[in-house]
Amino acid sequence: MASTPDYLGARNSRCTVIANGDGTTAKTVFTAGANGARVHLVSASTDDATPSLRLLKNDGTASCILATFQLPTNAGRVNGAPAVDLLDPAVIPSIPADPGRFLTLGANETLEVAMVSALTVDKTVHVTVDGVDY
């Protein structure tokens, strides 16, 4: 009897905090393994008032913007203000719209985030990424 192959390897997840001092410099929030990765969740929360955040994919040579998101005030920080889904297929059309949606990254490719403008002093954005390496 044939068995089903398991193509996914180790879980790969990370939480990155962006602060005022980070300015608009891109920060790596996820690095794919040597065989690539499948990212299932990218979410952002903030205690700032409507900051804008860019999600970028870096292939080792260049960073390309996937989408720009305006985070609602206190997104993910207070009841009734959910964190923002940065893998929303309505914003990034190449993401499958099915319940098992994901973003595929090649070997050692990274996801980055960059603020459009610096955050307010003493305010932060938290970006959580969860995926699996191949």
Res 69: pLDDT:
96
Res 1: pLDDT:
47
AA letter at 86: L
C-beta of residue 23 within 8 angstroms of C-beta of residue 118: yes
The one-digit pLDDT tens for each residue of the chain (134 residues) are 445 445 568 888 999 999 999 999 999 999 999 999 999 999 999 999 999 999 999 999 999 999 999 999 999 999 989 999 999 988 988 888 777 788 999 999 999 999 999 999 999 999 999 999 98
Among 46, 45, 37, 47, CA closest to 111: 37
Q: Each residue of 39-60: b (16+ CB within 10 Å) or e?
A: bbebbbbbbbeebebbbbbbee
Res 132: pLDDT:
94
Res 7: pLDDT:
58
Cα-Cα-Cα-Cα dihedral sign, residues 72, 77, 81, 86: positive
Domains of the chain in start order, with CATH, are: 11-133 (2.60.120.340)
Res 93: pLDDT:
85
Q: What element of type H or E holds 86? A: none
C-beta of residue 18 within 8 angstroms of C-beta of residue 129: no
